[in-house]
A = this chain, B = another copy of it.
């Protein structure tokens, strides 16, 4: 029993192009050709195709399918386990994405009368995002984090603008002190470290000296924060780190 590409395509429910492709990559080459060059598939070819399609259904990449089928030493069960792991990871990721979308849809619904797109930026905006990363990395799911989340959730665009303005003002003075050559444990530097703590307390959560020194450590340990401060002024990350520690010690 010999079949042409078109017949095989109909039988198996795939396109002719797919069969051409499988021939190209050597996954399924027909056992013969007619004198005119037409591909001729026999029953064995059909069986192989069924196997190929079976593994394809299971989400295996074509190259791996070839390996499983052609290598008599290959252990199908092992491949199945690997594939199962892979798929469950993808499945989990997809479930998270769906959950995130549902959350976004909820938010979009609730704020539709006030802020069609701006609330979106509460999640996507750079400052809150950086802050969220900061908090999550450091405390995960603590009281401070929850308090911060509660407060932040009520902030509007103007709040963020005011927050930003205050931050920038503080930043300018910090840079000035750094540029003045005053050491990190000078009164001026320590005063600005104290302001840093109060800014956080006012905008986000009650920030103790202990929490603040933890933050300071992270500013050096996590390159994302390092980059943020180093970009304002070279050396600022380390300077701020020192100033915060000095201030915390002097107040203890």
Contact = CB atoms under 8 A, between A and B. Distances in A.
Contacts of A57: 97, 100
A228 interface: yes
A231 B3 contact: yes
Given A94-B94, A121-B47, A58 B100 contact: yes
Most buried by B among A1, A51, A104: A104
Chain multiplicity (copies): 2
Contacts of A53: 124
A102 to B, nearest CB: 7
A84 interface: yes
Contacts of A123: 54
Contacts of A105: 77, 80-81, 84
Given A57-B97, A84-B105, A126 B224 contact: no
A60 B117 CA distance: 17
A146 B117 CA distance: 54
Q: What size tier do the contact residues of chain A reach? A: 35 or more
Interface string A111-138: 0100011001101111001100000000
A95 interface: yes
Interface of A: 1, 3, 7, 10-11, 13, 43, 46-47, 49-51, 53-54, 57-59, 76-77, 80-81, 83-84, 87-88, 90-91, 94-95, 97-98, 100-102, 104-105, 108-109, 112, 116-117, 120-121, 123-126, 129-130, 223-224, 227-228, 231-232
16 contacts: A1-B231, A10-B223, A10-B224, A10-B227, A11-B224, A47-B126, A51-B124, A54-B123, A58-B97, A58-B104, A77-B112, A80-B108, A84-B102, A87-B94, A91-B94, A91-B95
